[in-house]
Structure 1
Amino acid sequence: MTSQPPVTPVIEERPAQPYVGIRRPVTMETIGDAAGALSDLADWLTAREITPAGPDFLRYHVIDMARELEVEAGVPVPADAQIAVETPMETGVLPAGRYLTTTHVGDPDELVAVTGAFLEWAERNGLRWDVSDTGAGERWGCRLEIYHLGPDDDPDRSTWKTQLAFRLAD
């Protein structure tokens, strides 16, 4: 077993959060395509004078690491915002509930190892995810990478701050 980075998980209640997103299938090699949609969303909201209600995120809907992932780039919007989206954008609501979270400050290339340590910690502590196995992979109720600090804030990747927030089973 390889050494995992330390993680400090916290359980938190998150309220429902409306958002605008772009969902697409990707592979591990093309996952950057989903992250690239975040700047498209930010530009689209800015052009309409809509201020995001929180940091950008990637939401993993279906995960099959060997084949394909269904990933959505998203930006939270105010609950009272009246938004008419254009294809390929869609509106949605991140579900309220109990989430296990941890925050990583450092290079985003470390997130695979951090996620592994996070998942192992949850398993050791008997926590269950809001996830189901399907023929297409694992379908997650809500699995987020939330980008609090990134390249727009500081080019030094060691300062980037990413929060993992995975919804727990009821």
Structure 2
Amino acid sequence: MTQRLFEGQKVEIKEEKPYIAIPVEMEILDRGEIAALVEEVYSWLKRRKIEPAGQPFCRYWVMGGVEEKFSLEVGIPVERMISGDERIVASFIPGGSYAFAVHKGTTEYLDDTSYALEKWAEDEGLELDKRYEGETEIWNGRFEFFEYQTNEGSHDQSDIVEVAFLLMRDIAA
């Protein structure tokens, strides 16, 4: 019996939001490394006395696999656009309509939730915002937003992840 680890597939409107992030390429998706990068971004913000303005996230540009590396950014929203540096980039979470689901449980099964959301969107006739460069599929808005609990300066990841895929065009929620 398969345990359902996600709930509430729906379309949700998100406002454009600035963020800072560390861009990375990985051959294998390493959640431990992602958590360490989240801590690095929090530290970068703290040194500059800038408050986060939302949940930390991964923005996937290319979903890796057998022949390609994962290309992603590990970031945190901020209230206004700020400059990065040699390690940190600044960008925007695109505003628009997103296919959205909440994953509950270990991140070991997070790929199952992403696949189920993608399948649900397809079944609903929703077009996901992605393009191709040669054989490479590039996503314009594929996100995993992590709920973190702050405990005396540390940021511990909980078992709740919001998965969101930008849709090709806005639709009413």
**Do the structures match in fold with TM over 0.5?**
yes
TM-score bracket, shorter-length normalisation: 0.7 to 0.9
- The two structures have a TM-score, normalised by structure 1, of 0.85
Task: Specify the alignment match of 1:125 in structure 2.
Answer: 124
Q: Which runs of 5+ in 2 are unaligned?
A: none
Structure 1 contact 105–162 (Cα < 8 Å) conserved? yes
Whole-Å separation in 2 of the counterparts to 1:110 and 1:30? 13
Superposed CA deviations along residues 30-51 of structure 1, whole A, max 9, x for unmatched, are 4643442111000110111111
Q: Which runs of 5+ in 1 are unaligned?
A: none
More strand by share: 2
Whole-Å separation in 2 of the counterparts to 1:59 and 1:130? 13
Task: Specify the alignment match of 1:160 in structure 2.
Answer: 159
Q: Is 1:138 equivalent to 2:128 in the alignment?
A: no
Whole-Å separation in 1 of the counterparts to 2:29 and 2:162? 22
Give the number of equivalent residue pairs. 165
Letter in 1 for 2:13: E
Structure 1 contact 7–117 (Cα < 8 Å) conserved? no
Provide the identity percentage.
27
Aligned residue for 1:55, secondary structure, equals coil
Task: Specify the alignment match of 1:40 in structure 2.
Answer: 40
Task: Specify the alignment match of 1:51 in structure 2.
Answer: 51
Q: 1:77 to 1:24 in 2, by over 3 A?
A: same
Whole-Å separation in 2 of the counterparts to 1:135 and 1:115? 24
Letter in 2 for 1:165: A
- The two structures have a TM-score, normalised by structure 2, of 0.84
**What is the RMSD computed on CA atoms of the aligned residues?**
2.4
Question: Which has the larger displacement, 145-154 or 48-57?
Answer: 145-154
